Structure 1
Amino acid sequence: MHLCYIDEAGNGQTLDPERPDAPPVLVVGGFTVPHTQLRSLTWAFLDIKKHYRPQLQHAEQLSDLIQHEIKGSDVRKNLRAGNHNWRRAAMDLVASLLGMLKEHEARILARVWIKEVGQAFDESGVYPASVAALNETFQAQLAHEHSRGMMVLDSRTKVKNAPNVHCVTTRKFRTGGDSLRGVIESPVFGHSDTHTLLQVADLLVSSLLFPIACHAYLSDVTWNVHCDDAYRPLREQHGEQLKNLQFRYQDALGKWRGGVVVSDRRTRQPSSLMFGLPKRAAVPTPTIPGQLTTPHAEHPKSGPGSTLPLVP
């Protein structure tokens, strides 16, 4: 059996210069994990929490450790406006997160929506469509693994929750057959302060996918606070690993689907921009005849990661 944990980053605000803090993208995504890895993954994440929030090492109750959240929005803030130690700690945290997911056989899936400047964004339609698409990917993985599974969504409000599930329920129980046979039930909802792995989904979506999407597709939107070149290292250092952690599959027509799928409404750029900067052709360095060339010195390796600043 597999579990799938889904969270979102961004909202339906219109991207407009008069709202410089409006999220320029909406990301709905998360990860899948075999149920045999749940306990180990949970404790690995709690250890990460204690490393980057040292005060948690003295927590008297396990519930205190579980309920304390490291929010992806705080990680982004440290990358944009923090000092050198804070930025390094934020990058180390993301690296620890991806390493943990890889070690526990997790697979990443997401829908990323790039907004158009000045155009209304229908969150009420986009979010359910994303959940439906992610369930298709989840079903494909379950079929590939000969497994069964269930999806857990981060709970918002009842009014917002219900439409996100109806699209899956109707597909499972409509006349003519169940197209999501491996998914044993419609998605259920959890709260991140009680479902620890929803916190992992939040960090993945909010501290990695969201800022990478902003940098990859909206770097020219300089008036928006979320479009910051401070996110470049995320794309450079973690893009390849993010690519390798996807679950991708071929449909009946041989088309590749799943993984991290981007709908770019601005410039129609491909999803591959999420996985690193475009490669440029190497330009040969001119040399003077008879002159010896000296190889560039390697950058010194950074020391052990520091802790993230405490956020009230």
Structure 2
Amino acid sequence: MQNLYVCYVDESGNGQILTTLNHQQNQPVLVVSGIFVPFKNLNLLTMRFLGLKQTYFPPSPPVNHDLNLILHEIKGTQIRRNMVDSSRNIRRISTNFMKDTLTIIESLDAKIAGKIYIKEYNTSISEVSMYSTAIQTIAATFQNFLTSCDGYGIMILDSRDHGKNLNIAHSIFTQMFCSSGNKYSRIIEMPSFGISDNHAGLQICDLLCSSIIYPLVATSFLTPTIYQPNFVKPKFAIVKQNFAARIKSMQYRYQGLGKSMGGLVVSDPVNRKHGGHLFI
């Protein structure tokens, strides 16, 4: 078990077409990210995260057992709103909660990777293709990471619905059993799908996607005059100031095809910026 890793994957946003008719409700980006956690550290990750929940957001009424705190999920979208709230106290609590969450995963040698899509207005896109490509991108980075440490791993994705789960698993299946050979030889099986209420890793991944990476994307890639202000808030710059450097250092990056690969990869057909702009 020494070199076994778990890759948890969640997303923020959606793969729906962005139009001038739905842009007030439809998010202009899709963020899919994974966090690589050593299996030997899963117990510490879970128990420390439950402790943070109890410290910052104790449920009311109180739970009858500490382990039931896992069922009290704190959504990343709410933390994102809180971190730019008009109330200083609300901002402080949520920001410190996320700072301490990052401290936990940093201390347990976790790494992150992901795929981010910036949407163009009125441009046809395929949600299946976008999400499948994102998962394949994360799987390829995970494979390289596992090779670098002579490890093996499994992937646990946040469950959506049967049809979407089926498409994602099949996109990895075709890469594992293609005639040219298994592209993910160190990933033990097809991705499994978990309910986030039961996985600390999925809950943490949701927090990273929605409350930190999304504001980094909005600040770095979305123009307020083009996209709706409810998705591009000026105060997101504070989130970037607080977290960009730490997220940058947590990426797993590697050299491949003559260039640096892995980490948070951005597909930006609008401004054609690369992922490095997340941290500028």
TM-score (norm 2): 0.93
Other-structure match for 2:24: 20
Corresponding residue to 1:67 among 68, 71, 85: 71
> Which amino acid letter does the alignment assign opposite residue 92 of structure 1?
N
Other-structure match for 1:174: 178
Whether the aligned pair in 2 keeps the contact of 1:28 and 1:112 (CA below 8 Å) is yes
Distance 1:119 1:66 in 2: 40
| Deviation of 1:171 (Å) | 1.6
What do residues 236-286 of structure 1 show as CA deviations (whole Å, max 9, x unaligned)? Answer: 2211111110000111x33111010111121001211112x4xxxxxxxxx
Distance 1:78 1:176 in 2: 49
Other-structure match for 2:223: 219
Correspondence 1:228 to 2:227: no
| Deviation of 1:84 (Å) | 1.2
What is the correspondence of 1:59-138 to structure 2 with a 5 Å cutoff? 59-138=63-142
Corresponding residue to 2:12 among 5, 9, 13: 9
What do residues 47-72 of structure 1 show as CA deviations (whole Å, max 9, x unaligned)? Answer: 11111113479421245311100101
Other-structure match for 2:255: 250
State which drifts further: 72-81 or 194-203: 72-81
Output the aligned Cα RMSD: 1.6
> Which amino acid letter does the alignment assign opposite residue 160 of structure 2?
R
| Deviation of 1:80 (Å) | 3.7
Whether the aligned pair in 2 keeps the contact of 1:49 and 1:56 (CA below 8 Å) is no
What do residues 21-64 of structure 1 show as CA deviations (whole Å, max 9, x unaligned)? Answer: 31110001120011111100111111111111134794212453
After TM superposition, the runs of 4+ consecutive aligned structure 1 residues lying more than 6 A away are none
Structure 1 runs not aligned, ≥5 long: 278-312
State which drifts further: 165-174 or 137-146: 165-174
Whether the aligned pair in 1 keeps the contact of 2:34 and 2:138 (CA below 8 Å) is no
Structure 2 runs not aligned, ≥5 long: none
Other-structure match for 1:268: 272
Identity within the alignment, %: 34
Corresponding residue to 1:192 among 191, 196, 211: 196
Distance 2:95 2:139 in 1: 30
What do residues 117-157 of structure 1 show as CA deviations (whole Å, max 9, x unaligned)? Answer: 23233211100011011100000000001000000000000
Relative to structure 1, is the Cα distance of residues 122 and 176 closer, same or farther in structure 2, using a 3 angstrom cutoff?
Answer: closer
Distance 2:6 2:250 in 1: 16
> Which amino acid letter does the alignment assign opposite residue 252 of structure 2?
F
SS in 2 for 1:229: coil
Other-structure match for 1:303: none
Other-structure match for 1:305: none
| Deviation of 1:76 (Å) | 1.6
Relative to structure 1, is the Cα distance of residues 223 and 172 closer, same or farther in structure 2, using a 3 angstrom cutoff?
Answer: closer
| Deviation of 1:92 (Å) | 1.3
Distance 2:118 2:271 in 1: 9
Other-structure match for 1:53: 57
| Deviation of 1:226 (Å) | 1.0
| Deviation of 1:222 (Å) | 5.2
Relative to structure 1, is the Cα distance of residues 205 and 215 closer, same or farther in structure 2, using a 3 angstrom cutoff?
Answer: same
TM-score (norm 1): 0.84
What do residues 205-233 of structure 1 show as CA deviations (whole Å, max 9, x unaligned)? Answer: 11111121112111333534111111111
State which drifts further: 129-138 or 170-179: 170-179
Other-structure match for 1:286: none
Larger Rg: 1
Other-structure match for 1:140: 144
What do residues 175-222 of structure 1 show as CA deviations (whole Å, max 9, x unaligned)? Answer: 342121110111110000122211111111111111211121113335
> Which amino acid letter does the alignment assign opposite residue 73 of structure 2?
E
